[in-house]
Amino acid sequence: MTAPSTPGPRPLDPRALEGRRSVAGRVLALLNAFDATHRSLSLTALARRADLPLATAHRLVAALTDWGALERDAAGAYHIGLRLWEVATLSPRGVGLREAALPFMEDLYEATHENVQLAVRDGLEVVYIERISGRSAVRVRSRVGGRWPLHATGVGLVLLAYGPHRLRERVCAGPLRRFTELTICDPARLRAALAEVRRTGIAVSDRQITMDALSVAAPVHGPGGEVVASLSVVVPAAEGRAPGLIPAVRVAAHGISRTVAAAWGQAPVAEASGRWKGATAPLAAP
């Protein structure tokens, strides 16, 4: 079955579009012109995709290049610069969380030799901040820095289930994008699936993105019990391995939670069921 196209970059917020008259708005529009399929852009293409006059784009691109946010290659095309990556590493939900999670992700990979992924929520989407994969693992369409809708992935179902009530209602109000014939696009089914995730602490996304893969995901908790990320393993759908993977994913997510809690604040208290006391502080609503 031919896989649908990967979701594109997140559109600029309408408020940002309204602010394009400001220098900051124009700079953000230029940076937003880059995505996974547009990693290299000429000045003309940058101006067109940012919807800016060429002269304005030329002036701002020169300033961004001088600062290091953009880099220009020998052919004259522009790319995202290393200075932006340097700044991005300061995000606690990025590199800091990734460093805490990597040892446990590596253990989970060694136990399964399948794709292991870590994601956080940003608005109505999941953003993958780390992934470990092997040559023999089932092919996945996620990538570090990639975004997917919350309702269609294992990590997304976890983050949606533990997010604010108003977030769940907003997502259920749709539209819910369909990727395969098994993607949950009915609001009632989605609400039931989210309730099951909250009951069990596990999400199973069975062939919702492609027909050859399923994922098993568990929440990663912060110091106060709030869900700050989601960990998943993705395996071939035909093997029926989901039930056997649940304990391993739980243990890895629990280990990451304890490491994050120790690094960010006091350790959370786990109940015997694997649920967390004090898990009432939701991620900020979009």
How is residue 95 written in tokens?
A: 């590199």
The predicted pLDDT at position 50 comes to 92
The predicted pLDDT at position 91 comes to 66
Question: Which CATH architecture describes the domain 14-88?
Answer: Orthogonal Bundle (1.10)
Residue of 203, 239, 208 whose CA lies nearest to 141? 208
Which of the 8 DSSP states describes residue 269?
A: -
**Averaged pLDDT in 10-residue chunks for the chain of 286 residues:** 46 47 87 85 93 93 92 90 77 71 93 91 90 74 82 94 93 91 93 95 91 92 90 84 89 93 58 33 33
The predicted pLDDT at position 269 comes to 39
Q: Are 33 and 50 in contact (CB under 8 A)?
A: yes
**What is the spatial distance between Cα 140 and Cα 151, in angstroms, rounded to a whole number?**
17
**Helix (H/G/I), strand (E/B), else coil: 135:** coil
Q: Which CATH superfamily is domain 92-264 in?
A: GAF domain (3.30.450.40)
The predicted pLDDT at position 210 comes to 86
Number of CB atoms found within 10 A of residue 14's CB: 8
Peptide bond connecting 223 to the previous residue in cis, omega within 30 degrees of 0: no
CA distances from 72 to 61, 62, 82, 96 (A): 10, 10, 12, 29
How is residue 169 written in tokens?
A: 């209602």
The predicted pLDDT at position 18 comes to 45
CA distances from 45 to 37, 50, 51, 61 (A): 13, 8, 10, 12
As separate numbers, helices (DSSP H) first and strands (DSSP E) second, the chain gives 10, 8
The predicted pLDDT at position 10 comes to 54
**What is the spatial distance between Cα 118 and Cα 98, in angstroms, rounded to a whole number?**
8
Strand partners, 80: 70
How is residue 137 written in tokens?
A: 């693992």
How is residue 283 written in tokens?
A: 């991620």
Q: Are 135 and 126 in contact (CB under 8 A)?
A: no
Cα dihedral value 115, 227, 190, 236, nearest 10: 10
The predicted pLDDT at position 3 comes to 41
* Ranges of each domain in the chain: 14-88, 92-264
Buried b or exposed e, range 96-125, using 16+ CB within 10 angstroms: bbbebbbebbeebbeebebbbbbbbbeebb
